[in-house]
């Protein structure tokens, strides 16, 4: 048996995966990384927390929610840099003048050509622009075309403009008994009564497990009525209205 492949700066791939769990960035300039995802590098690279000094302008261009800029690091310099995240699968994606929304915990790194915004959906981040980004997933990622209904735990993100909404399976939830069943789990709940539904043109990214990756705080949203995740709007009815009772 031959030994494992040995890499040096010449043989490391440029902007590609080294193995399923490690991504190599050929750095000439700047990249944004989430804190603590760099595992090794060759060359001269400096790491700075964003949100101060000469990087301030960059932040203004790429981060539109300074509230969570503290979780990000700017890698600057020349060299090859290896990124990985808790031995999860990592993949790179190219965006060309497009947009992609991804679960906050899954995003690892992106080029400054992209700008990062908080999604209106709590816990998700949206990338807009042109460039490459790296995201982690628990198991390989599957691309699916809408219309599709997906399990909330398997959802990694979506590109372009499908419209995501909640979907409740009325077969289970119809009637008083169904409501009781869904709330308590008594009488057998399949665990699949609730899905996310996507319609419209675009792509939906799914991971091949229902094990979630740890969420990362995306920063709080301005506390005003009408903002999802903000203070609750005055309730119209009780929780029964959810089930059509």
Residues that bind other proteins (CB under 8 A): 1, 3-9, 18-22, 35-42, 45-49, 51-52, 70, 73-74, 82, 84-87, 90
Nearer to other proteins, 20 or 165 (CB): 20
Question: Which one, of 104, 81, 70, lies nearest residue 30 by Cα?
Answer: 81
Residue 27 φ/ψ, nearest 5 degrees? -90, 120
State the Cα–Cα distance between residues 101 and 91, nearest whole angstrom: 15
CB of 19 to other proteins, least distance (A): 5
Q: Are 208 and 98 in contact, with CB atoms under 8 Å apart?
A: no
Nearer to other proteins, 63 or 196 (CB): 63
CB of 109 to other proteins, least distance (A): 12
114 C-beta neighbours (distance < 10 Å), count: 21
Nearer to other proteins, 84 or 150 (CB): 84
CB of 137 to other proteins, least distance (A): 13
Q: Are 47 and 81 in contact, with CB atoms under 8 Å apart?
A: no
CB of 98 to other proteins, least distance (A): 28
Nearer to other proteins, 32 or 172 (CB): 32
Nearer to other proteins, 73 or 205 (CB): 73
CB of 225 to other proteins, least distance (A): 32
Q: Are 183 and 214 in contact, with CB atoms under 8 Å apart?
A: no
Question: Which one, of 82, 80, 109, lies nearest residue 22 by Cα?
Answer: 82
């Amino acid at each position: 048996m031959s030994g494992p492949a040995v890499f040096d700066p010449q043989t490391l791939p440029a902007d590609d995966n080294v193995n399923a769990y490690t991504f190599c960035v050929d750095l000439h300039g700047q990249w944004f990384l989430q804190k603590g995802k760099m595992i090794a590098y060759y060359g001269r690279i400096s790491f700075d927390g964003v949100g101060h000094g000469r990087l301030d302008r960059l932040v203004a261009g790429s981060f539109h929610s300074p509230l969570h800029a503290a979780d990000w690091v700017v890698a600057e310099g020349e060299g090859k840099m290896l990124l990985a995240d808790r031995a999860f699968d990592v993949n790179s994606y190219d965006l060309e003048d497009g947009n992609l929304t991804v679960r906050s915990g899954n995003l690892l790194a992106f080029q400054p050509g992209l700008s990062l915004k908080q999604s209106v959906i709590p816990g998700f981040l949206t990338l807009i622009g042109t460039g490459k980004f790296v995201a982690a997933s628990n198991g390989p990622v599957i691309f699916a075309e809408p219309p599709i209904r997906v399990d909330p735990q398997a959802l990694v993100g979506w590109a372009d403009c499908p419209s995501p909404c909640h979907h409740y399976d009325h077969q289970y939830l119809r009637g008083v008994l169904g409501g009781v069943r869904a709330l308590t789990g008594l009488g057998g709940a399949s665990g699949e009564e609730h899905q996310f539904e996507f319609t419209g043109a675009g792509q939906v990214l799914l991971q091949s497990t229902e094990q979630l990756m740890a969420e990362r705080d995306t920063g709080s949203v301005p506390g005003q009525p009408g903002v999802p995740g903000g203070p609750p709007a005055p309730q119209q009815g009780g929780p029964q209205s959810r089930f059509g009772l």
